[in-house]
Structure formats: structure tokens, C-alpha cells
Amino acid sequence: MKVIIPLAGKGTRLRPHTHVTPKPMLRVAGKPVMDYVLDDVRALGDVEQVVYITGHLKEKVEAHARTKYADMPAVFVEQQVQDGTAGAVNLARPYVDQPVLIVFVDTIFDADLSAVHTVDADGIIWVKEVEDYQRFGVVVADGAGNMTKIVEKPKTPISKRANIGLYYIRNWRLLFEGIDHVLAQPTNQGEYYLTDAFQYMIDKGAKIRVVDVAGWYDAGKLDTLIETNQAMLARGHARRPADVGTARIVDPVYIEDGVTLRDCTVGPNVSLGAGSVVERSELRDAVVGSKTTIRDSTLANSLVGDGVVLEGVRGEVTVGDHSEVRIG
């Protein structure tokens, strides 16, 4: 099996952090978002090659993947023109000669990927039932559990099963035939969509099985990244140091080695990077990078980068790497 991982996006909704850090490498519960996905892929086994479709800050993505996942053979292809998900996957075509798993890595999911070994359909599309279905592309299935269509942001609840960006395609030849068809049509608001290639496959008689996931956690914008940090801490990724000094810890938290805590309250749902200092402050529902200093501050629902200095700050903030804010 081959694996295609598109991660060329600029992550504009997570600026200023994504000016210097690729969106898939932002951390929740002490771990880059892309690593949650790649750990699942590694555990699946039977992966002949991973094709990374890179773009924004591609050197950082490539260095991380080559170092952390050196055991999985990989190739890196740059998407120089951001023309949509179909255009991204099409760049992997020279490397695909067998069934393929396609994973978009700005979300974390609880999915049984082992289904790829037993499915008797032409593919799988994983979904999550949501209440705010109007925000998503939703998948409609027939009585046999096979996809019939995807409807983008429906006004009526034709389906509440959101497309989460995780697919397995056995009939890879028909997939690329569908992509050719999509690329030959006019763009949809400047983009070519992979889901239109799936629709082509279905119209040609392919069976794509719809499978529900147990959990789906978005990390593509500030508020959902904070919520996903909370979810990962609750799901067993918390880490509490043996010595917390004069700090009060409210679990769950993720605190790396070398963090200094003095006369502060940390938690719940806080991640602190290595070498950071927190003094006379209160933090909750926050992700804080490495080597950051926070003094005399009260923060909630905040994302703070590496090497930041905050003094006398109160409220909800998003502060990029190597910034300094002193109030009072």
C-alpha cells in the first residue's frame, strides 16, 4: 500500500504561528498534529512508501518526517500551485501503482485503519456524525453503506456524516481517471476537489464504503486546536512532572522536562513546552511553546509560541514565536 499525505497549505487561520511553523507541526498535548496520524500509519504496517505533498515551509516538514519516521520510505513532492485537493493528490501519480491511503493531516481521528485489509469494496471514506452539518461536506450513503454522493455545506440535514479527509482507494486506476476528469473541468472557486473524483468513480459503478470514526478532532484553527489539545490530554496524553515546585496543578496537563513553575496555577488543559518558566500566573486551556516565560499573567484559551515573554497579560491571546508583551 502507498500513502499520500497532502500538507501544502499555508494554515492562514492559525497565523501568526504558521508563519514559521507548518500547520501540521503545531503541537497539541506535546506532539505535532501530523505525528498522531503518522503513528497510526506506522502501526498499520504494510506501507511501501509515503508520498508527502509539500508546499509552505516544506523544508521543515521534510526534515521532521525524515528524522521521526525514517523507517517509512518516503518521497516529497512540492505543490507549487495551490489548486485544490485533486491537484495535490494528482502530484503523487508517478509513485502510485497499488491501493492507496490518502490522509489530510490537519485533523486527528480515532479510526480503525485495519479495515483496509478486509474491505471488499473499491474504497473507504471515513466520516463522523456532527450536529453542525451545515459547516461540512457531508456524505450520503445507500442502504448497503456505500457512498452515493457528497453534498457541500447542506442547508437541510440530508446527512450529518461529515467527510473528515481520510480515504482508502483500492481501485487506484479509476481514482486517477476521475482526477483527470476533474482537472479537465472548470475550477470550483479556483480549486479542483478530490471529492469530485470520488463522485466520478461512483458514477462509473465503484463502491466506496462509508465507515464512521469514533472521534474526530480538528486542529485547523485556534479555537479547535485548543479543544483538540484538551481532548488529547483527556485521552491519555497527559504528562505531569514529579516535582511541581510551588505550583498548583489542575489535571489534565502536559508539562515537558525543564519547565520551571513558581507560585502559579497551571491547568486544566494546559500544555507547556520544554524550558518554559511560569511565575505568579494562572493558565488554563492553553498551549505554550518551548523556552517561553510567563509572569504575573492570567491566560485562558490561548496559543503561545516558542521563545515568548509575557508579563502582566490577562485574557485570551495568540502570540507568535519570539514575541514580547509587557503590560503595566
Q: Domain-by-domain residue ranges, the chain?
A: 2-218, 238-326
**Which residue's C-alpha cell is 485537493?**
85
| pLDDT for residue 158 | 82
Q: In whole angstroms, what is the distance from residue 69 CA to residue 62 CA? A: 10
Q: In whole angstroms, what is the distance from residue 187 CA to residue 190 CA? A: 5
| pLDDT for residue 14 | 83
From the candidate CATH numbers 2.60.120.590, 2.160.10.10, 3.30.559.10, 1.10.12.10, the one assigned to the domain spanning 238-326: 2.160.10.10
Burial class (CB in 10 A: 0-12, 13-18, 19+), 22: buried
pTM above 0.85, yes or no: yes
Per-residue pLDDT of the chain (328 residues; tens, 9 = 90+): 899 999 877 878 888 888 888 888 899 999 999 999 999 999 988 899 999 999 888 899 999 999 999 999 999 999 888 888 899 999 999 999 999 999 988 889 999 898 899 898 999 999 998 887 777 788 988 999 999 988 777 778 788 888 888 999 999 999 999 999 999 998 877 888 898 999 999 999 999 999 999 999 988 888 889 999 999 999 999 999 888 888 999 999 999 999 999 999 999 999 999 999 999 999 999 999 999 999 999 999 999 999 999 999 999 999 999 999 999 7
Q: In whole angstroms, what is the distance from residue 44 CA to residue 38 CA? A: 10
Mind giving me the DSSP string for 121-176? SSEEEEEEE-S-GGGSEEEEE-TTSBEEEEEES-SS-S--EEEEEEEEES-HHHHH
- What confidence tens digit (pLDDT) does each residue in 237-260 have? 999 988 888 899 999 999 999 999
| pLDDT for residue 129 | 87
| pLDDT for residue 130 | 84
Q: Report the interhelical angle of 194-203 vs 172-183 (nearest 10°).
A: 120
| pLDDT for residue 179 | 95
| Beta-carbon contacts of residue 181 (< 8 Å; ≥ 6 apart) | 197, 200
| pLDDT for residue 62 | 92
DSSP at 251: S
CA atoms within 13 A on the CB side of 184: 8
Q: Which fold has domain 2-218?
A: Spore Coat Polysaccharide Biosynthesis Protein SpsA; Chain A (3.90.550)
What does the block give as the cell for 220? Answer: 485547523
48 — phi, psi (to 5°)? -80, -35
DSSP at 113: G
| pLDDT for residue 155 | 79
Instruction: Answer whether 178's CB lies under 8 Å from 197's CB.
Output: yes
